[in-house]
Structure 1
Amino acid sequence: MTNQPLPQVRRIVTGHNAQAQATVWKDSLISAASAEHGPFLTRLWSSPQLPPDVNGTEDLGLANTGLANQGTICRIVDFPPKSPGMVHRSITLDYIFVLEGEVVLTLDDGSRTVVRKGEMVVQRGTMHGWDNETESWARLLCVLIKAENPVVEGKRLEAEVPFQV
């Protein structure tokens, strides 16, 4: 992946026909959103509320959700080689699965944890960042779900996002 365009992701979305049978509603290749310095985000799907409404006809993979919304977000995040992340907090419960390469999970307590292909992180509204310190691309599958604000010692923590998605 180093000197070539990021691969597209095939996204298959199901729905129902008039007879209430399951059908393939969409089957298409999705490209990453270009970014000057990465990471690159590929929007796969989102829902603007919980529980999600599965009856709509809008392609919610095209929704501009920002980093978080009031429902769910599923995306692929590609990190170029030797790219530092930015520490941030979203008010979400995140399931992060490393599909390719490895990243370093950095937390605001100073800890750094290497996460490799096939491993996953459950991210619970903490200040965190992702660094790719290798010479290869890293690819993460990220599922974000709206959460209640964390409360520590009676203090309600808020989102802290020093960048735009």
Structure 2
Amino acid sequence: MASLLHNDKSGFRAPSRHITTHDEEGVSKFVPEQNVSADATWQEFSPEVFSSLLWGTTTSPALMTNDADLKAYTSGTIKPSEIVTKNGTNMRLFDFAPGFKSEMHRTDSVDCSIVILGTIENQVDGGEVRVGKPGDVFIQRGTKHLWRNPSETEWTRMCFFVVAADPLVVGGKELEAITSVDSGLGDK
């Protein structure tokens, strides 16, 4: 999986991150850019899917005392290719190429996703399809689903905030997480 500073294929602007912390007196301030670059690194999951891990934590609730969460993030503990950070959270952007369609997948997480640019279709394994446009929100609660960019010419950008969850049990049966690099959406 290639790392790059920006996904130039989509034509979308590269986002800047502005991360806050505190000084020794408890006064709020921004983290210096030499500690965490404002430019997030992009991962090419496939020629049709690019993702940028904007932030993540290894615990939920997050441990922020003494910048523990910041240290975990900058140490590389959180893997950019993992959609779900075990016991933690992550926030990432995804850019989907025109015509992209993921495999049907399920993660042990609650995924809050916002359509920023373009249009996306979200289909659940029961067959229902919902269309999202800029500003629309999808909340995936351990459901089996796929994403599709219905446009033949325009890329779609979405922001995902993913919170790890215990495996889901329905009708006494634990539903298995189903992810694959082949889905174009990274590792389990």
Give yes or no for TM over 0.5. yes
- Selected match of 1:64 from 79, 82, 87: 79
Q: Which residue of 2 is the match for residue 90 of structure 1?
A: 107
Asked whether 1:22 is paired with 2:28, we answer: yes
Q: Indicate the RMSD between aligned Cα atoms, in angstroms.
A: 2.1
- List gaps (5 residues or longer) in structure 1: none
Q: How does 1:73-112 map to 2 (within 5 A)?
A: 73-112=90-129
For residue 68 of structure 1, what is the amino acid of its counterpart?
V
Deviations 1:66-125 (A, max 9, x none): 111211010011101111112111110111100011111011112221111110011100
Identity %: 24
Q: Structure 1 residues 42 and 152 mapped into 2: Cα distance closer, same or farther (>3 Å)?
A: same
What's the CA shift string for 1:29-81, capped at 9, x where partnerless?
A: 22421233231111100111111011224262653151112110100111011
Of residues 40-49 and 20-29 in structure 1, the stretch that sits farther from structure 2 once superposed is 20-29
Aligned mates of 1:59, 1:136 — CA distance in 2: 36
Give the C-alpha shift of residue 132 in structure 1: 0.5
Q: Match of 1:58, SS?
A: helix
- Segments of 4+ moved more than 4 angstroms: 1-6
Q: Across the two proteins, how many residue pairs are aligned to each other? A: 165
- Asked if 1:132 is matched to 2:132, the reply is no
Q: What letter is aligned with 2:50?
A: F
Contact 1:107–1:128 under 8 Å retained in 2: yes
Would the alpha carbon gap of residues 142 and 26 (structure 1) be closer, same or farther in structure 2, given more than 3 Å must change? farther
1:125 and 1:21 map into 2 onto residues whose CA distance is 39
Q: Distance in 2 between matches of 1:91 and 1:4?
A: 29
Q: How far apart are 1:148 and its partner, in Å?
A: 2.4
1:10 alignment partner, SS class? coil
Q: Which protein has the bigger helix share?
A: 2
Is the 1:30–1:42 Cα contact (8 Å) retained in structure 2?
yes
SS of structure 1 residue aligned to 2:46: coil
- Structure 2 residues without counterparts, runs of 5 or longer: 1-6
Deviation track 1:122-150 (CA, whole Å, cap 9, x = no partner) reads: 11000111100102110111000011222
